[in-house]
């Protein structure tokens, strides 16, 4: 029995997690990044493969938040789309392992 009532192990872990301020800050940062990369097409004005040779090697500015690379690609846009791939891999791996363990075991 847990102190303070009948709580599951998950409920106890969540209560302890909520009390840890840095853990909650980290969770909010990760949540914000995840939401940003999911809605990236609505946030960014350029496509990830748009080439603009006139704006090569631009410094960070309002239209190009992180600047541009040698072909004029917007670095922020490419970072957002790369984050989508990373998020997909990060979710697919554990999900497939869980499902394989559930059906295989």
At 21-31, the pLDDT tens digits run: 999 999 999 99
Residue 101 tokens read as: 């363990």
Q: In the structure, what pLDDT confidence band is assigned to residue 95 with cuts at 50, 70 and 90?
A: very high
Residue 42 tokens read as: 């609505």
| Euclidean distance between CA atoms 66 and 57, whole angstroms | 10
| Euclidean distance between CA atoms 102 and 88, whole angstroms | 21
| Euclidean distance between CA atoms 55 and 51, whole angstroms | 9
pTM score of the predicted model: 0.73
């Amino acid at each position: 029995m847990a102190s303070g009532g009948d709580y599951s192990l998950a409920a106890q872990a969540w209560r302890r997690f909520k009390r840890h301020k840095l853990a909650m800050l980290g969770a909010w940062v990760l949540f914000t990044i995840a939401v940003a990369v999911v809605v990236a097409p609505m946030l960014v004005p350029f496509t990830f493969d748009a080439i603009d040779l006139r704006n090569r090697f631009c410094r960070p500015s309002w239209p190009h938040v992180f600047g541009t690379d040698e072909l004029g690609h917007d670095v922020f846009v490419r970072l957002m789309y790369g984050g989508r791939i990373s998020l997909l891999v990060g979710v697919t791996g554990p999900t497939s392992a869980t499902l394989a363990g559930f059906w295989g075991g």
